[in-house]
Chain A
């Protein structure tokens, strides 16, 4: 016959309560901090992506605008043009006036097919801010998606429309001699639905007459 001596030693309730009192707030704090870190990292990544997207968009427009011929530039009329009798209606394509911000531009470019023949031109190219359906140009979020007057920058040439840049809230251009100034605002949503905006004012020198 054998006798078993069992060891009943363990944690007392008081010990468990003390451990939990110390451990639970720490676990909570670490969880909370981890959440904050994740959000911060997500925000930083999204913000960096938005800035990068804006810079790529600017470069894309520059590729079209720089070889543009200044003498062929046309711009859409705004209310001031109608008031000054330079146009009969808003949106009519007219010759540009310096230092006026407008929502688009049309020009012919040196074609680039023959580098020694600068007079060879493309068909007229038109860059315009085309609003999404449900949006009106009124500085309001008409479709309730958090973005204001969003749309795309569209390139129209020879009856074909290409969407160059998406999520554009503002696109305006102003001429001063050969210098074409562009204001561009991009807005994007991150994974949690927060809207991140980035603005750029860029100047392009139009090379050709």
Chain B
């Protein structure tokens, strides 16, 4: 009886360790995805407004912890093999002024299953 009880405790503890490690890895993955999304949105700010629609659907990579490419694996079936994707849509067009909604979405196959991070912003021509 005591042995069984001990085994159950050990099993629970080992499960907790595994869950902790998965949680840590998931945090690291989310951090990488966020960094890549922010970087791409910053880079898009340097693109002329007229060039924004052409970026719709363009994929991007997520660098790893040491800056090397391929930090996050894309989900199965990803067309371009890159976990990141930009979406650009016209949000408002008034009086000749166009404002675009730009989203940077990272979808990857993480240690705790498929995950997604999405960051968006509105971009218009600076006066």
Q: Is the pair A48, B42 in contact by a Cβ cutoff of 8 Å? A: no
* A164 is an interface residue with CB less than 8 A from chain B: no
Number of contacting residues on B, CB 8 A? 28
Residues of B within 8 A of A51 (CB): 27-28, 31
Whether the Cβ atoms of B10 and A29 lie closer than 8 Å is: yes
- Check if A22 sits within 8 Å of B3, measured CB to CB: yes
- B9 closest partner in A (C-beta): A30
Interface residues of A in 176-205 (CB under 8 A from B): 177-179, 183, 198-205
Cα–Cα distance between A205 and B10 once the two chains are bound (Å):
52
The complex places the Cα of A89 from the Cα of B112 at a distance, in Å, of 52
Contacts of B39 in A (CB 8 A): 201-203
Q: Which residues in chain B, 1-49, are within 8 Å of chain A measured between CB atoms?
A: 2-3, 6, 9-10, 13-14, 16-17, 20-21, 23-24, 27-28, 31, 35, 38-39, 42-43, 45-46
A199 touches B46 (CB 8 A): no
Interface residues of A, dominant DSSP = helix
Residue contact B67 to A201, C-beta cutoff 8 Å:
yes
CA distance A82 to B35 in the complex (A): 34
A202 touches B17 (CB 8 A): no
| B120 within 8 Å of A (CB atoms) | no
Binary interface profile of A, 47-67, with partner B (CB < 8 Å = 1, else 0)?
110010001000000000000
A41 proximity list for chain B (CB < 8 A): 20
Of the stretches A6-14, A32-40, A72-80, A126-134, the one at the interface is A32-40
Which residues of B are found within 8 Å of A43, using beta-carbon distances? 24
* CB neighbours of A33 from chain B (8 A): 10, 13-14
Q: Which residues of B contact A205 (CB under 8 A)?
A: 42-43, 45-46
Residue of A nearest to B3 (CB): A22
Separation in Å of the B16 CB from the closest CB of chain A?
Answer: 7
Q: Which of B6, B42, B65, B126 has the largest count of A CB atoms less than 10 A from its CB?
A: B42
Chain B nearest CB: distance from A15 CB in Å? 14
CB-nearest residue of chain A relative to B38? A202
User: B66 in the interface, Cβ–Cβ < 8 Å?
Assistant: yes
Contacts from A to B (Cβ < 8 Å): 22-23, 26, 29-30, 33-34, 36-37, 40-41, 43-44, 47-48, 51, 55, 177-179, 183, 198-205, 207
Cross-chain pairs A/B with CB under 8 angstroms, 16 sampled: A30-B10, A33-B13, A40-B17, A43-B24, A44-B20, A44-B23, A177-B46, A179-B46, A198-B65, A199-B67, A202-B38, A203-B42, A203-B43, A205-B42, A205-B43, A205-B45
